[in-house]
Amino acid sequence: MRRKLKPPLPQRHGLDPARLRMPAEGSWATLRDHLVERLPKVDPARIDTMLRESRIVDMDGPVAPNAPFVPNSSVWFHRDLPDEVAVPFEIGVVHRDDDLLVVDKPHFLATIPRGKHIVETALVRLRRELDLPDLVPAHRLDRVTAGLIMFVVNPARRGAYQTLFRDRLVHKEYEAVARYDPDLDLPRTVRSRIVKEKGVITAREPEGPPNSETLVELVEHRDGLGRYRLLPRTGRTHQLRLHMAGLGVPILGDDFYPVLTETALDDYRKPLQLLAKVLAFTDPLTGAPRRFESPSTLLAWRSHEAWLAGPPATRPGSATG
């Protein structure tokens, strides 16, 4: 396996610099000419400023504004960060050792940088807050889902732990709160075909051979609500949300299924009542069984009124939403 080239720029705000590899050939006289064409969403004046302020570098240091285009070379720089909505909730640490970090992620926090969520993501915040610059996720959890995420601390162990999730060798248990239906026969295994198209925010369940499977159990019920245990045997996009909606008991706070509802990024009311509760697996390095459990409970199960009002902010100095 090829070793990843160490960037000549340090992380900033917990983010690695972006790397651009030059094509093998081209007619550009300067690197600047290539960057203007390569990055059409960036104002050429901004590229000029970055070159003038030595913010674009190669392995030998800052690139001059008039530096020639060099085929097959690479440059690094830090992208300008978008304006982000602060996510005012803490990340709880469940376990930490030299190889692994397991955390209890709050609702509304994305796992990794993507789109409008860059600094306000679990990965970037943990790198910065825990001083773990090499931290990488072993898997991902939806932004609106709370609960356990496992990160790899030691880069040498990355492949071993990520492979566990890729090969579905991790036992996962989720909890959800939804309407209680006394006529719904549970436990039951739900199977369906799930398709997620690029550029479409929701997934769908067309006719065809099933590619997803979830065991749904009712743990308890009261006051018209049920607390459900969900055991996914596959990992399709929005699988648990689709399967619960398909049973006629959509998860409380689901603004995708059965009906897509637009919600502002800073609207922290009615969080999706879905929690990644348990991760269990055989450690690929030691052979020992490992099990982690989220200490959290879903807000709507503790108090439906409190859930309707929205969770209180717990992150000092952040907006309350």
Active site residues: 142
Integer CA distances (angstroms), 52 to 7, 25, 36, 74, 82, in order: 20, 25, 15, 18, 22
Three-class secondary structure of residue 235 per DSSP: coil
Indicate the Cα dihedral angle 44, 46, 48, 50, nearest 10°.
-140
Integer CA distances (angstroms), 51 to 26, 42, 68, 289, 297, in order: 20, 13, 13, 52, 50
Whether the bond into 250 is cis, omega within 30 of 0: no
Closest to 132 (Cα-Cα) out of 142, 124, 140, 120 = 124
Q: How far apart are CA 199 and CA 151, in angstroms?
A: 28
Q: How far apart are CA 109 and CA 125, in angstroms?
A: 10
| Burial (CB count <10 Å: 0-12, 13-18, 19+), residue 301 | buried
* Residue carrying the six token digits 């610059």: 133
* Residue carrying the six token digits 């496992």: 150
